[in-house]
Chain A
């Protein structure tokens, strides 16, 4: 089993819709959690950190479920510019960053 798993997608979503995807992690002692965004043929960039209480940044909401060992990302009112690959990153108990393979999101007009 991979340490960090994501549905590779692609998720094809109409513009304006709400979309959510999850990321599961295997190490229950994981410390910190992040979502990065990577546009096609570009470098990854931090989208948001994921806090235990959940956090929101505009149209984006991230949540952590420690009991079930997953984090989620919700995008409301999706825009064409949200099309990208979303990478889940988990910091394990040894402070190493473990990257998921990413979920590809395509927003269609």
Chain B
């Protein structure tokens, strides 16, 4: 079975450029999460969706970040304009509902972003 699929796996861009990260969750999963991981700050939740609806975006650093989930099988995380401090690994994860709550999170392999 296909897991969570993220693209691109690696991206190197220059400061000021727009970056779009993509995620295809596991089919049938109700929740989709976007995380960012750095050595300094660990795993940080940016935003999550339930049935394609954004539930909590309080972790989105600032207006430069935006996320969409136009349908159950696709989500994007966009950074515009990008800055060097955005360099990190961005993970997408999905999960099924268990007892009304998110169950086990299944992560994609991550998108490693470097902003020069």
Binding site for B on A (CB under 8 A): 31-32, 36, 42-46, 87, 91, 95-97, 99-102
Contacts and interface: CB of A to CB of B under 8 A. Distances in A.
B54 interface: no
B interface majority secondary structure: strand
Contact of B42 (A43, A45, A91, A100): A100
25 contacts: A31-B101, A36-B105, A43-B91, A43-B107, A43-B108, A43-B109, A43-B110, A44-B43, A44-B91, A44-B105, A45-B107, A46-B104, A46-B105, A87-B43, A95-B101, A95-B102, A96-B45, A96-B56, A97-B102, A97-B105, A99-B42, A99-B43, A100-B42, A101-B42, A102-B42
Contacts of B104: 46
A88 to B, nearest CB: 11
A31 B98 CA distance: 13
A105 to B, nearest CB: 16
A44 B101 CA distance: 19
